[in-house]
Structure 1
Amino acid sequence: MSADIRVQVAESLTDEDLAAIEQLLPQLSSSATFDRARVLSMLDHDGTDLIVARDDGRIVGMATLASFPLPTGVRGHLDDVVVDGEMRGRGIARLLLEAVIGIARERGLRTLDLTSRPSRESAIRLYESVGFQRRDSVLMRYAGDLA
């Protein structure tokens, strides 16, 4: 792992940062679309944190933590974990996950959840290695039009 990797909550993003995020999105999902305004809006949203991994200042990985209060407690959801393909295998995803877990602890979140496709076996092993456990649950997504 590169000694120059630094993981932090993004407080601002340069044009170079946004370009790096735009390059990461297709590596996360073939249907993901980049929207500069949407990404920038995350910086000011109280319930959303964009956690970035930088190698010599350049964003090479990211994760998103959404935190929200519910009647049963403040919950968290981890989404959009991705590391640039050229940087994989260096422990960057683990650093991102550990940072998100640390933030969740600091905020006193009651739970921290994530979802992953079953085909992403290596990612699932990584999630389990940092303390995530599989749950007997059915993931549902509304299939109607929300726009």
Structure 2
Amino acid sequence: MADGISISIADRLTADDLHRIEALLPQLSATARFDAERVLSLLQAQNTDLFVARESGRIVGMATLVTAPLITGWHGSIEDVVVDQSTRGRGIARLLLGAIIDESQQRGLSTLDLTSRPSRESALRLYESVGFVRRNTNVLRFAPQGD
């Protein structure tokens, strides 16, 4: 399972790293648009950490941990989990999730959430296998219309 894979919180990104993230983005979302400046700003954001999975130094997966103080305690959210198609099935997503879960526990987060489309059955099985529980809730989104 995932031999030769290292997981870390990115503190800097090279031009090659940015190209790899750009290649991963359409595998995550058909509508997402790559913006190198926005990706680099993640590294400086106070409550956001970009976890990367590397094989021989090359990014093959990523996930983002977002933390926020709430009245009920510190809350975490996992966003943008994606592993390159060519390396799927090797346990890389499980390693990313494990690293994020460990980090969230070290930080004392009271909750850690993630969302996934119902059609992503294998992803849902993975999330449940590492301890996430489906909740009886609805996710609502407001997206302001552009000019």
Q: Which of the five TM-score ranges fits, normalised by the shorter chain?
A: over 0.9
* Secondary structure of 2:37 counterpart: helix
* Secondary structure of 2:33 counterpart: coil
The one-letter code of the counterpart of 2:112 is L
2:86 matched to 1:86?
yes
* Displacement of 1:2: 4.0
2:113 matched to 1:113?
yes
Q: TM-score if structure 1 supplies the norm length?
A: 0.97
* Secondary structure of 1:135 counterpart: coil
Q: TM-score if structure 2 supplies the norm length?
A: 0.97
Distance 1:75 1:114 in 2: 11
Match of 2:66 in 1: 66
1:130–1:73 CA distance, 2 compared to 1 (3 A): same
1:128–1:58 CA distance, 2 compared to 1 (3 A): same
In structure 2, the gaps of 5 or more residues are none
Distance 1:128 1:2 in 2: 19
Match of 1:41 in 2: 41
1:70–1:52 CA distance, 2 compared to 1 (3 A): same
The one-letter code of the counterpart of 2:90 is R
1:49–1:138 CA distance, 2 compared to 1 (3 A): same
RMSD between superposed Cα atoms in Å = 1.1
Match of 1:18 in 2: 18
In structure 1, the gaps of 5 or more residues are none
Which 4+ residue blocks in structure 1 deviate beyond 2 angstroms?
Answer: 143-147
* 1:73-129 deviation per Cα after TM superposition (whole angstroms, max 9, x unaligned): 100000000000000000000000000001100100000000000000000000000
Match of 2:32 in 1: 32
The one-letter code of the counterpart of 1:86 is S
Aligned positions, number: 147
Distance 1:113 1:68 in 2: 12
* 1:34-71 deviation per Cα after TM superposition (whole angstroms, max 9, x unaligned): 00000000001110000000000000000000001011
* Displacement of 1:3: 2.2
The one-letter code of the counterpart of 2:73 is G
The one-letter code of the counterpart of 1:11 is D
